[in-house]
Amino acid sequence: MVCESQVSELAPIKRVMRLMGNRFELTVITDDLEYAETCFDAAVAEIQRIEALLTTFNENSQTAAINRMSGIAPVVVDPEVFQLIQRANRISELTQGAFDLSYGSVDKRFWNFDIHMTSLPDPLTAKTSVRLINYRNIMLDAADGTVFLKEKGMRIGFGGIGKGYAAECAKRVLVDMGIKSGIVNAAGDLSAWGYQSNGAPWTIGIADPDSKQHPFSSFAITDMAVATSGNYEKYATINGKKYSHTIDPKTGFPVSGIKSVTIISPNAEIADAMATPVMIMGIKHGLHLINQIRGVHAIIIDDADRLYTSQHIKLTF
């Protein structure tokens, strides 16, 4: 994802840092540099707070506690975490399991997606590697505020929704502090609001999957979020065919045929969560689903560089 700002009277103020294991870039339009830094500090603190809740790399996080107690006992979590899992499970239902928080249960021994991966496992082995992925086994008890993973060895992870959620929360902090225009870009999952100081909307570039520093196309947005999922950063080429690092939870095999999926939505959490399942569902079924969701749009680039879009999108090439 490439974010472009047109030259204007008031230059955007930016801060770039590494958070949640990814590159975050915060951009605001204001004439008060000192206050911008104060706002950046608050937004960063919010992202760090969310990371502490959702990370699987810290045994003290609530996510780690849920995973540790899989098949053993329910875990009490904060209402914020409980509600995020509730929303994630609704997306799982909507996408017929193509999105699934329990994706963390995949057996990674068969999937390294590098130059050393020269063959795919047999169908039975592939299916076995994803046997614990099942959002229906994420048991939620609203009365007690608990989460229980029904099967021993199950794991949840927020890699498919966490960055978008963090971007949305950081945006809310900045808006509440009076920032009327800006962008929170969480490694390509971004939320933009307001306008540039010349009155123009923000111009968002869709990265070329074969050269991610150069935009494939672009469009103008305000008060919208964008997220992209692609096979151009981590993949394996086997017998001349490119396989994404994204695994289809139904078959256990990696996805092929699509280079990238970009989702445009009013909410960064939704955009982030919908990008990967559309890639898994494929062009026909993915676009059919997106066309049924009000306010959500998709741009798909296949392996032959053909471009497909959902209804009512205007792109600039």
Our CA angle for 98, 101, 107, nearest 5°, is: 85
pLDDT at 232: 66
CA dist 261 and 304 (Å) reads 14
Measuring CA to CA, how many Å separate 182 from each of 26, 123, 133?
A: 8, 47, 37
pLDDT at 4: 44
274: tokens are 């919908």
pLDDT at 272: 96
Q: Give the pLDDT of the chain (317 residues) as one tens digit per residue.
A: 444 444 346 889 999 999 999 999 999 999 999 999 999 999 999 999 999 999 999 999 999 999 999 999 999 999 999 999 999 999 999 999 999 999 988 877 666 666 677 787 888 888 888 999 999 999 999 999 999 999 999 999 999 999 999 999 999 999 999 999 999 999 989 999 999 989 999 988 877 666 666 667 788 899 999 999 887 667 777 777 777 788 899 988 888 889 999 999 999 999 999 999 999 999 999 999 999 999 999 999 998 889 999 998 877 66
CATH number (3.40.225.10, 3.90.105.10, 3.40.50.970, 3.10.520.10) of 2-31+179-309 reads: 3.10.520.10
pLDDT at 152: 96
Measuring CA to CA, how many Å separate 231 from each of 76, 90, 147, 300?
A: 36, 26, 32, 12
pLDDT at 35: 97
67: tokens are 């995973």
* Residue 53 · residue 26 · CB < 8 Å: no
Token look-up 């498919």 returns 160
What are 66-69's contacts with CB under 8 Å, separation 24+? 66/147, 66/149, 66/156, 67/104, 67/149, 67/154, 67/155, 67/156, 69/148, 69/149
* Residue 183 · residue 191 · CB < 8 Å: yes
Q: Where do the H-state alpha helices sit in 55-151?
A: 62-68, 79-94, 123-129
pLDDT at 208: 67
pLDDT tens-digit map of 117-172: 778 788 888 888 899 999 999 999 999 999 999 999 999 999 999 999 999 999 99
267: tokens are 């909410």
Q: Residue 258 forms beta bridges with which residues?
A: 302
Domain ranges of the chain: 2-31+179-309
Closest CA to 191 of 214, 175, 207, 178: 175
Taking 3-state DSSP, the helix, strand and coil percentages for the chain, each rounded to the nearest 5, stand at: 30, 30, 40
> What's the whole-model pTM score?
0.90
pLDDT at 8: 41
